[in-house]
A = this chain, B = another copy of it.
Amino acid sequence: MQLKGLFTPLITPFNDNNHLNFSTLDALVEIQIESGVAGLIVGGTTGEYYTLDDEERETLIRRVVARVNGRMPVVAGINALNTAEGIRRAKQAEDLGCDGLMMSPPAYSLPQQHEIESHFQVVADATPLDLILYDFPDRAGVTIEEETVKALAAHPSIVGIKESSGDMSRLLSLMGQDLGDFRLICGCDDQAADHLWWGVETWISGSANIFPREQAELLRLAAAGDQAGLREGMRGMLPVIQSMESGAYNQKAKLGAGLRFELPVGDVRQPLLPLDDSEVENFHKLMESFNGE
């Protein structure tokens, strides 16, 4: 899988009955492709994977793969609470025609590092698909420590790590390791320009649901060495991104995408709840400020 450029962990649109909204889903896929995005993650955290039942999961992946139809790689988010489920989801993704996999350590069970390492290795061994690690300790309850990353980077089909800890010192430390062609991937949207400036070439961006074209453009500016453009582009998006990261990330990803592309993406599913009116209004104002630039 070509793991370079902007990858969008796609929001999962629901209709008024709280079912998958296929027409909006198709429209979102087309918007992402037209915007110059390099690839999609389906069934990821921003896609509220943890609210999908097994049938919905399969239907969702199948639909996105079909709609994309080879125009870009499709990566399946395969977070699982245990290793066997991770393997099942990996094989399902392979069967459904996905190009890659992304997975965090299992949440809740607090595995130790050697257990995290084995979990990823066993899942990676189960399919020929490329696997992206995902480090987001606030969610998973555990981090993938640097030594574990180094060990896993040696696996032929473990191809990169989405860094969402927000710890720039960790990124700089990992950049100093010899990790071969294992990719460090920006997973911290507000720090994206820093990642790109340091030579990171991949960005998995939840906020690309709102800013696909602008963020794909950021990657081009970075590759072209246009520093002023990179900073200016980043600065323009920061207020919205910072608002997302301050709370209600998923609600705002949907709100922003719906607003920007005039699509009925629907609400988040419970346990998350829609924003209240004043929160919606505040976020709208931030969006308008962006548009007004």
Contact = CB atoms under 8 A, between A and B. Distances in A.
A30 interface: no
Contacts of A108: 45, 50, 79, 107-108, 139-140
Task: State which size class the interface on A falls in.
Answer: 35 or more
Interface in A74-117: 79, 81-85, 105-112, 114-116
Contacts of A114: 273
A194 B168 contact: yes
B172 A122 contact: no
A183 interface: no
A176 B119 CA distance: 36
Considering residues A138, A188, A193, A272, which has the most beta carbons from chain B within 10 angstroms of its beta carbon?
Answer: A272
A231 B111 contact: no
B122 A84 contact: no
A282 interface: no
Considering residues A110, A119, A138, A270, which has the most beta carbons from chain B within 10 angstroms of its beta carbon?
Answer: A270
Contacts of A122: 270
A119 to B, nearest CB: 4
A9 to B, nearest CB: 14
Contacts of A82: 50-51, 269-271
A199 B235 CA distance: 12
Contacts of A227: 197, 225, 227
26 contacts: A48-B109, A50-B82, A50-B106, A50-B108, A53-B84, A53-B85, A107-B107, A108-B139, A110-B138, A112-B248, A114-B273, A115-B271, A119-B270, A119-B271, A166-B167, A166-B168, A168-B194, A172-B190, A172-B238, A172-B242, A176-B239, A176-B242, A194-B198, A197-B227, A225-B227, A227-B227
